[in-house]
Structure 1
């Protein structure tokens, strides 16, 4: 099933499987979300929960039991329920069940709220801990934006002129190797060579927004004020780029398997609710 929300400027379509945004068009019918061609990458904008990235050995332990949790968690593979809908907004929900606790022994409720406001799509995450204990989790976005012209015609413009210190991945885990990219006038020209070693993992950055420029002209801006980390990713020769605001990231080889000790993890107390949001602004 899919749900559509629209206003006078934008139309967004969301698949109930994973509550995944798969289309965002302006009123000229221009598409901004990657079409999911499986020859490159068969997704559009999956949610990453209850982990972001990969665990060491794809597992963790809790109260003497080992659990297996695959990369980016399981929310993206679950059917969400549409719990509220208006012309310009839709709220989707999953809750923990007998299957999720086999992989992640905590009870939760997860809402994704999509809202159109003029030329912006606001995506809100709401995580409620319904367990009788504190709950460790990560959550993140993975939107892929269509870049239909030559990749080198595009650049990223950061809100702050800064140096980007990023960590290299090794077998999907964060290595101890870092590299630095210096921006020029806040901008990073895109080239596939940047992603020769997979994603750029920015554990911390000063900017709270990144714009995509096409031939030096901004076409969209992703704003993520409260997200501490960011991933940037594409596949070789693929006509898309992912801009991924995160709370959390992959393990290292030295990670001890205790989620409560995991670098970048969020700890949500019993009966507490976590909320965050980011937005995609069409320029």
Structure 2
């Protein structure tokens, strides 16, 4: 099932499967990747209760082992639409017998989509309904469609900073780092940037990133609430993913204890977590 929200400028469509944004349009063009499985069959999945890959796809809670595949299970589950207005929609996923086998915590995950002017705001609400502390990560994975040649695009970071990122090895975070060289905070896009998979920035001073098309502002992603950022595409694919994250893949040295995982969040009993990011059409 698909739910659509809109205002006079934008229209967004969200699939109840994964509460996934599948379309964001103005009167002229589509800004979200179409999901062609030849390159990547997703559009903008939510990453929960982990971001990235666990070592051996395994983790431990109180010495008991559990299995979770890359980016967790929320993106593959059916959400319920619990509230809707003309320009907003709220989706909910609650823990159940299936999730408890993979993740032994009772929770509710809400995604709130709201269109304001030329922006789509996407809010994550995580509620701990367990009678114990709950470790989790959460992240976004929106794929921005790039209709022109990939080399016609560039990134402009909000702030002048050292753009140091960690390399991935076998889908895990390595200790190897590299630094993007920018001119006036701008770096041209090329597929060579992604020849070793995603760029993983554990921390950034910038809280927004603008995609330039032929040197003109195209799309801006604001992620003030998020400490980490992933950027990714596939070779020759006409999209780029700008991914605000809380957490990231395991390191090779990770003990497997989810409470001790680097970048993990710990939510107290009956507490809720809120964060949001936005996609602004320029």
Task: Note whether the superposition's TM-score is higher than 0.5.
Answer: yes
Q: Tell me, in whole angstroms, the C-alpha distance in 2 between the residues paired with 1:103 and 1:256.
A: 18
- Which stretches of structure 1, 4 residues or more, deviate above 4 A after TM superposition? none
Question: Which residues of structure 1 form unaligned runs of 5+?
Answer: none
Task: Work out whether residues 8 and 27 of structure 1, in 8 Å CA contact, stay in contact via their aligned partners in 2.
Answer: no
Aligned-residue offset at 1:163: 1.7
Q: Tell me, in whole angstroms, the C-alpha distance in 2 between the residues paired with 1:257 and 1:75.
A: 21
Q: Tell me, in whole angstroms, the C-alpha distance in 1 between the residues paired with 2:269 and 2:187.
A: 42
Give SS of 1:99's match. Answer: helix
2:80 matched residue in structure 1? 81
1:19 matched residue in structure 2? 19
1:252 matched residue in structure 2? 251
Q: Tell me, in whole angstroms, the C-alpha distance in 1 between the residues paired with 2:206 and 2:251.
A: 25
Q: Deviations over 1:212-241 (max 9, x none)?
A: 000000011000101000000000010000
Deviates more, 1:175-184 or 1:103-112: 175-184
Q: Tell me, in whole angstroms, the C-alpha distance in 1 between the residues paired with 2:103 and 2:187.
A: 38
Summarize the alignment of residues 58-77 of structure 1 with structure 2, pairs less than 5 Å apart: 58-77=57-76
Question: Which residues of structure 2 form unaligned runs of 5+?
Answer: none
Task: Work out whether residues 162 and 182 of structure 1, in 8 Å CA contact, stay in contact via their aligned partners in 2.
Answer: no
Q: Deviations over 1:67-109 (max 9, x none)?
A: 0000000000000000000100000000000010100001100
Give SS of 1:42's match. Answer: coil
Aligned-residue offset at 1:148: 1.2
Give SS of 2:209's match. Answer: strand
Give SS of 2:59's match. Answer: strand
Task: Work out whether residues 107 and 129 of structure 2, in 8 Å CA contact, stay in contact via their aligned partners in 1.
Answer: yes
Aligned-residue offset at 1:181: 1.1
1:151 matched residue in structure 2? 150
Give SS of 1:60's match. Answer: strand
1:265 matched residue in structure 2? 264
Corresponding residue pairs, total: 282
Q: Tell me, in whole angstroms, the C-alpha distance in 1 between the residues paired with 2:130 and 2:256.
A: 21
1:243 matched residue in structure 2? 242
Give SS of 2:40's match. Answer: coil
Give SS of 1:207's match. Answer: coil
Aligned-residue offset at 1:183: 1.7
Aligned-residue offset at 1:64: 2.8
Give SS of 2:56's match. Answer: helix
1:103 matched residue in structure 2? 102
Give SS of 2:97's match. Answer: coil
2:175 matched residue in structure 1? 176
Summarize the alignment of residues 93-242 of structure 1 with structure 2, pairs less than 5 Å apart: 93-242=92-241
Task: Work out whether residues 161 and 184 of structure 1, in 8 Å CA contact, stay in contact via their aligned partners in 2.
Answer: no
1:281 matched residue in structure 2? 280
Aligned-residue offset at 1:152: 0.5
1:3 matched residue in structure 2? 3
Per the normalisation by structure 2, the TM-score is 0.99
Per the normalisation by structure 1, the TM-score is 0.99
Q: Tell me, in whole angstroms, the C-alpha distance in 1 between the residues paired with 2:106 and 2:20.
A: 22
Q: Deviations over 1:46-73 (max 9, x none)?
A: 0000000000110111123210000000
